[in-house]
Amino acid sequence: MSLGIARPLPQELVDVQAEMEALAAGYGLDFFETIFEMVDYEEMSMLAAYGGFPIRYPHWRFGAQYEELSRGYSYGLQKIYEMVINTDPCYAYLLNNNELVDQKLVIAHVYGHCDFFKCNAWFGGTNRRMLDQMANHAARVNRYIDRYGYEKVEEFIDACLSLEDLIDPHSVHIRRREESQTGPRSQLHRPSEEETSSGRFPSKNYMEEFINPPDVLRKQAEDKARKHRELSESRRFPDDPQRDVLLFLLEHAPLDEWQHDLLAIIRDEAYYFAPQGQTKIMNEGWASYWHSTLMTRHGLTDSELVCYAEHHSGTMASSPNRLNPYKLGIELFRDIEDRWNKGQFGPEWEQCDDLVAKEKWDRQVGLGREKIFEVRRIHNDLTFIDTFLTTDFCARQKMFSFAFNESAEQYEIASREFVQIKQQLLAALTNHGRPFIYLVDGNHKNRGELYLSHDYQGIELKQDEAHDTLINLHKLWSRPVHIETVVDDEPTVLSWDGHSHEVTQK
Amino acid sequence: MSRSIDRDNQRFRSIVRGKVRQNLRKYITNGEMIGRKGRELVSIPVPNIDIPHFRHGDKGSGGVGQGEGDVGQPVGGRPGDGDGKGQAGDQPGAHLREVEISLDELAQMLGEELELPNVQPKGAENLKSVKSKYNSIRQTGPNSLRHFKRTYKQALKRMIAAKEYDPRRPMILPNREDERFRSWNDVSLPVANAAIVYIMDVSGSMTDDQKDIVRTEAFWIDTWLRRQYDGLQRRYVVHDAVAHEVDEDTFYRIRESGGTRISSAYEKTVQILERDFPPADWNLYVFQFSDGDNWGDDTNRCNQLLTEYMLPICNLFCYGQVHSPYGSGEFIKKLQPLGEEWENLILSDIPDHDAIYDSIKLFLGTGR
């Protein structure tokens, strides 16, 4: 599929690509066919704003992103070297005025990404034909715009996007419930068994009074009615709290057909992009590991060394208030490789208290390369950090945790203790640093109101934004909506009924 | 080539402009955009326009960083800045987006917001500006102006006349004589010119705060009148007991002390008007700002200069009186009888920044 804007590679880059591809494959990287295209910066900004896809549905936020990127570039603040998307075949875009050494590095880097996309388990459920799917989404949205008007569609998309992170990223890999046979909407009207059977035994006429005594029957009927009443009073809907709020809305919100379709589109795309958020550190670390390996061992010529070093160190730069995923990822992969090469793992290593022995520990087992390939296959950022972050590593990388100091109204270094750092890092990675929101009740107070719950883990919601999000949720649900959370250390319910906000302490 | 991203970008920009329009009153009164004025564009800080999500606030949040430093040392900035994926927020100060808006567009918004009438200029028939209009055809010219259709027709005519044209093989070969080029004529358009004289009292009783009000108000008046006239000239006069003509920069920065004689400024203004702007050709505007303190019997002289020289020739004479802790605020009362007599004398009392909005409306709402 041609993207219409891109130009084919010049011959010297075709050669570089062939070289890098052969080298990468030689190291055991496993990737889809990768197609490189040259774009200028405007086009690169556009692709980046579109999340890597040449065709997306019309929406102003892409325009906002584009403006930021292209302005950032023209002011010399930032530059995107490459863009690669998770599809089969894999498409990668190169910036056309990069120097040759930059292009080499970037091509090597891209092969790292491609391998990761193909082999990492968390990407297993993604649609590899997303290029087509995105174009299809765009066509559908454009059709609705033609039919219902730009602003109406835009307003609805805005409302959906406001909720786009209310999905269940793990549901791709687990079956949470039986797929309903009859399609989603009919669930509401499932006739209950109690209504159909009456508890009466078959009998001959003259025996009726004895086999089915009227008073017993009456009592049974009353019991049943009571039970039924109790059940329906106590029963919440859905039965268990549900993370995929979007799915619930798709199934139960009173939406028009076009709205239903738009919401499905937003949800689809949210699920497609979710694994990239879950594996940022690993993905960038893995790609950096491979560009570094391929370039320093094979690709570089003498004259390119300084340029390469500058580019590489620029990418790896860390700052106090932002952990660089490239840096953390590559260092952790190298640390794992080193440890497994020297055999620094297993019970014997864990139980060894002799620091000197640990320092010199080298069993020459040489399992490093094999281990990192395994790691890139099965882990995501959360489990990666949880499993492989060590005290030594934190100290070597000068890591610290910081926290918001309310009295000083600024972020301050809170600790250099391994336990705190790890805890903080895991907290930030869990659910991509977003709050856990569950859908608890779709028929709150038996009045069809929607009740969400924020699983409070010590960080409160940003209230003004939560209010605005509730307003958007209400646009979909059209009955009052609530979210249970914690405000100023008190359990609180925020509500929006379509006209006014309400904040009630529980 | 038109790209889909341009459409999204346009849409985004119009949303931003909508925001600016909504908050125009705030922008008018706080004056922060004046410092951001370029030649044609003003950049305006707009709170980030974003889609709301359920997300974490600052309280209890934190993160992990890398580098030197002891416990308790501030890490600076906001975590996630520049990443776009971190915990971005829109607290005051953070994540402001600068939007560039042309002065023309800003004036249009101002006009709509304040419901300002367009100015009816005088003297339009007197001044001409020459403009080129491409509305004719010549046989010579640069290739960039070649009129393809006419050239084609001409060649076709010639070939048919010369019986060179073969309908089965309709090939047209224009030669040098067939070529036609677009050409222009000079059209003279009537233009209305305007001049503004700003007068400010810089005597000791005017504080920085008052000057800031003047600055803000002058900016908006400029913006509006610039839209109304093609050529706008500005002159600045400052005065205490004596008056000086100064440039724009000095006008806003100068700090003097001493007494106040408003008539000195009027005399200076009359001089400028007579020297540079013959009233027959120019639309004249005078805006005076003062705290209303004047030297004893000087007010009579002022009245005389106003009624004899300025009011007869000016489109508008506007007097804005700011409140200073030292001024007596008498002058506006003295002018009031004149204001009833002359329609083009506008008086406005500007106690604080919030009053700027109404004051501008008062000054420019006359449509003169």
Q: Is the pLDDT of residue B278 over 70?
A: yes
- Smallest CA–CA distance, residue A158 to chain B, in Å, is 7
CA dist A375 and A366 (Å) reads 16
**In chain B, positions 56-95, which contact chain A (CB-CB < 8 Å)?**
56-83, 85-87, 89
Interface test with B, best of A40, A322, A382 (most B CBs within 10 A): A322
Which among B54, B70, B81 has CB closest to A469?
B54
Q: Which residue of B has its CA nearest to A61?
A: B12
Which chain A residues have a beta carbon less than 8 Å from that of B72? Answer: 412-413
Instruction: Tell me the per-residue pLDDT of B48-87, one tens digit each, with 9 for 90 and over.
Output: 678 888 888 876 667 788 887 788 788 765 544 333 333 3
- B40 three-class SS: coil
pLDDT of residue B35: 56
User: Please, which residues bridge with residue A450 across strands?
Assistant: A481
CA dist A499 and A283 (Å) reads 45
pLDDT of residue A195: 42
CA dist B167 and B20 (Å) reads 61
Residue carrying structure tokens 């050494």: A101
Give chain B's count of helices (H) and strands (E): 11, 11
Check A61 against B12: CB less than 8 A apart.
yes
pLDDT of residue B108: 82
Q: Using alpha carbons only, how large is chain B's radius of gyration in Å? A: 30
Please say whether the beta carbons of A339 and A129 come within 8 A.
Answer: no
ipTM: 0.78
Which chain B residues have a beta carbon less than 8 Å from that of A402? Answer: 62-65, 75, 79
pTM of the predicted protein model:
0.73
Which chain A residues have a beta carbon less than 8 Å from that of B61? Answer: 403-404, 459
Q: Which residue of A has its CA nearest to B99?
A: A67
- Smallest CA–CA distance, residue A257 to chain B, in Å, is 24
pLDDT of residue A5: 54
Q: Is the pLDDT of residue B228 over 90?
A: no
- B190 three-class SS: strand
pLDDT of residue A148: 94
pLDDT of residue A6: 58
Check A319 against B72: CB less than 8 A apart.
no
Q: What is the mean pLDDT of residues B110-120?
A: 77
Determine how β-strand B96-102 pairs with β-strand B193-201. unpaired
Check B67 against A459: CB less than 8 A apart.
no
Check B53 against A465: CB less than 8 A apart.
yes
pLDDT of residue B90: 27
pLDDT of residue B45: 73
pLDDT of residue B63: 78
Check A437 against B3: CB less than 8 A apart.
no
For chain A, how far is it from start to end, CA to CA, in angstroms? Answer: 56
- Smallest CA–CA distance, residue A274 to chain B, in Å, is 12
Determine how β-strand B345-350 pairs with β-strand B243-246. unpaired
Compute mean pLDDT per 10 residues along chain A, 506 residues long, and list them.
Answer: 62 91 93 91 90 91 88 81 90 88 92 94 90 94 94 93 90 67 42 51 77 82 78 68 91 92 94 91 94 90 90 85 87 93 87 84 87 93 92 89 80 87 86 87 87 88 90 92 90 90 84
Please say whether the beta carbons of B76 and B94 come within 8 A.
Answer: no
Q: What is the mean pLDDT of residues B316-344?
A: 82
Which chain A residues have a beta carbon less than 8 Å from that of B91? Answer: none
Which among A322, A406, A454 has CB closest to B83?
A322
* DSSP annotation string for B87-117: -----TTSSEEEEEEEHHHHHHHHHHHHTPP
CA dist B58 and A239 (Å) reads 34
* DSSP annotation string for B306-325: IIIIIHHH-SEEEEEEE--S
Check B11 against A483: CB less than 8 A apart.
no
Q: Who contacts B140 (Cβ-Cβ below 8 Å, separation ≥6)?
A: B181
Q: Is B13 at the interface with chain A, CB within 8 A?
A: yes
CA dist B77 and B62 (Å) reads 12
Q: Which residue of A has its CA nearest to B83?
A: A322
Single-letter amino acid, residue A3:
L
Q: Is the pLDDT of residue B290 over 90?
A: no
Which chain A residues have a beta carbon less than 8 Å from that of B85? Answer: 277, 280, 432
- When pLDDT is cut at 50, 70 and 90, the band that residue B103 belongs to is confident
Supply φ then ψ for residue B117, to 5 degrees.
-80, 150
Check B3 against A399: CB less than 8 A apart.
no
Check B4 against A58: CB less than 8 A apart.
yes
Check B77 against A162: CB less than 8 A apart.
no
